Amino acid sequence: MDISKKIVDDLVANDVSFITTVPCKQLAGVIDEVEARPEIFHIPSNKEDEGMGLCAGAFMGGKRPAIIMQNTAIGVTINTLATLTQYYRMPLPMLISYRGELREPVACQVEMAVHTKALLNQLNIPTYHFHKESDADELDAILKYTFMCNKPVAILTDASFWGGYGDQ
């Protein structure tokens, strides 16, 4: 089964109906799938902290939200995660492309990759790393966990998980 379709199937099955995205090449397929699903309101945001604000509002309005973004966004959103999502105890699944890992062609991406897990750890954000396609079998359980405990949860998806970058 197409992995983007499987991921969005799991989101829909867990009643996630409000998704904001900031694009990444690795996430293009999953973003297309989000846009295509009638069960999901897809609202692209211009910056990830803005997106987390949208998700906070949607959650308080009774919808289950999610954000799809690059790991560079962790650098952008630390204040929002700490003072909004965590402080008011709100759930937020974060599907994150883990740029700068093995098979990365862009050197600068490595500069945030080396900080990504340390920052998530410092924030006490439960973090899962999808490296092989079968790792996504846990997504359903991760989503249930996120909405059970009302916390932001990070799902890092690296280039190997997405099948590399094609010609290199």
Partner 1 sequence: MIRSEILREIAPILHDNLVVCNIGLPSQELHMIDDNAKNFYMLGTMGLSSSIGLGLALAQDKTVISIDGDGSVLTNLGTLPTIANNVADNYILLIIDNGSYGSTGDQPTYAGMKTKLENVAKACGCENVVVCQDVDTGKTLQAAIDSKQMTIIVSKCDSGNIKLPVITMDPVVIRDRFMKAVAS
Binding mask 16-35 for partner 1 (x = CB under 8 A): --x-----------------
Which pair of tokens denotes residue 73?
A: 């966004």
Q: Which of residues 58-97 bind partner 1 (CB under 8 A)?
A: 58-63, 65, 79-80, 82-84, 87-90
Query: In this complex, which beta carbon is closest to partner 1, that of residue 61 or of residue 166?
Result: 61
Stated as kind and residue range, the H or E segment containing 7 is helix 3-13
Rounded least distance, CB 143 to partner 1, Å: 18
Provide the residue type at 52 as one letter: M
Regarding 45 and contact with partner 1 (CB under 8 A), the answer is: yes
Rounded to the nearest whole angstrom, what is the least distance from the CB of residue 154 to partner 1 in the complex?
19
Q: How far apart are CA 24 and CA 2, in angstroms?
A: 18
| Alpha-carbon distances of 16 from 32, 98, 104, 143, rounded to whole Å | 16, 22, 30, 9
Question: Residue 66 pairs with which residues in a beta bridge?
Answer: 19
Q: Which of 3, 12, 54, 123 binds partner 1 (CB under 8 A)?
A: 54
CB of 17 to partner 1, least distance (A): 9
Reference 85, options 62, 58, 112; nearest CA is 58
- The residues pairing with 157 across neighbouring beta strands, listed in sequence order, are 97, 130
Binding site for partner 1 (CB under 8 A): 18, 41, 43-47, 49-63, 65, 79-80, 82-84, 87-90
